[in-house]
């Protein structure tokens, strides 16, 4: 059976009448006749013309579904730069493969949702005057402050391990925005602890504090957007 390389595989993307090929574990399958791969796209996420060996690990089905389709070719192995790492870490990753990619996705959502909540509960307090909302905002702010460095650490780990610490625009933006976010969190949390009545009565200092709290929302959105763009790339028309 003939073999093709990754560059040639890209040509079979299921668009403009071309066949839709996907690869898994060195095998290339022709999924052109599958309605689930219409237009070369599966579940609005996976694109034909790519090696799905890693992606299919997170799918709700196993690789056996690909065996239903004819094998069109074999995929030539390419030299992949491997991250040099301590032996103990290599053994740990071999025993628990999830530690290679999952730590950051598992932790990054916490600071994002806590920053959203801190902003929303602060606004609810200003609208209703119910002090419990303001106290909840403080709790969320504190929780976000705890989880932000954790998410940053796992992010650097994932970048170092899976992307060989190469400069990537989304990663660079996330790194800078994360630092700004943490600085804002520290200032806002320390200010609120030092001045529990910062929002009552509302004054100039209250306005500055509110701007600081409101800034947490767009900062978290930017982090979420560029993180998601690496997992779910936005295809340009």
Q: What is the pLDDT of residues 136-174, one digit of tens each?
A: 999 999 999 999 999 999 999 988 888 888 899 999 999
Measured distance CA(215)–CA(208) in Å, rounded = 11
Q: Which residue is listed with tokens 């002090």?
A: 131
163 backbone dihedrals φ, ψ, rounded to 5° = -115, 10
CA terminus-to-terminus distance, the chain:
35
pLDDT of residue 237: 47
Q: How many CA atoms lie within 13 A of 152 on its CB side?
A: 18
User: Per the confidence metrics, is the pTM higher than 0.85?
Assistant: no
211 touches 122 (CB < 8 A)? no
pLDDT of residue 58: 65
pLDDT of residue 25: 87
Which residues of the chain are modeled with pLDDT < 50? 237
pLDDT of residue 230: 81
Going from the C-alpha of 136 to that of each of 54, 119, 120, 124, 142, the distances in angstroms are 40, 10, 10, 10, 10
Measured distance CA(10)–CA(48) in Å, rounded = 8
Q: Where are the beta strands (DSSP E) in 60-160?
A: 71-75
pLDDT of residue 212: 98
pLDDT of residue 83: 61
pLDDT of residue 9: 92
pLDDT of residue 236: 52
């Amino acid at each position: 059976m003939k073999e093709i390389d990754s560059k040639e595989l890209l040509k079979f993307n299921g668009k403009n009448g071309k066949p839709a090929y996907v690869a898994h574990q060195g095998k290339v399958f022709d999924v052109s006749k599958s309605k689930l791969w219409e237009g070369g796209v599966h579940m609005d996420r996976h694109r034909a013309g790519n090696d799905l060996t890693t992606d299919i690990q997170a799918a709700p089905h196993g690789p056996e579904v690909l065996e239903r389709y004819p094998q069109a070719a074999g995929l030539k192995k390419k030299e992949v730069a491997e991250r040099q790492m301590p032996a103990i870490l290599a053994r740990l990753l071999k025993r628990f493969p999830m530690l290679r990619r999952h730590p950051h996705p598992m932790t990054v959502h916490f600071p994002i949702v806590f920053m959203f909540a801190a902003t929303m509960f602060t606004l609810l307090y200003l609208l209703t005057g119910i002090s419990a909302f303001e106290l909840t905002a403080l709790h969320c702010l504190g929780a976000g402050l705890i989880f932000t460095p954790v998410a940053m650490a796992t992010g650097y780990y994932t970048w170092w391990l899976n992307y060989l610490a190469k400069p990537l625009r989304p990663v660079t933006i996330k790194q800078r925005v994360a630092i700004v976010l943490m600085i804002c969190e520290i200032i806002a949390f320390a200010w609120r602890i030092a001045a529990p009545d910062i929002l009552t009565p509302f004054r100039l200092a209250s306005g500055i504090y509110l701007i600081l709290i409101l800034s947490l929302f767009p900062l978290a959105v930017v982090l979420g957007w560029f993180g998601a763009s690496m997992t779910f790339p936005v295809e340009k028309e």
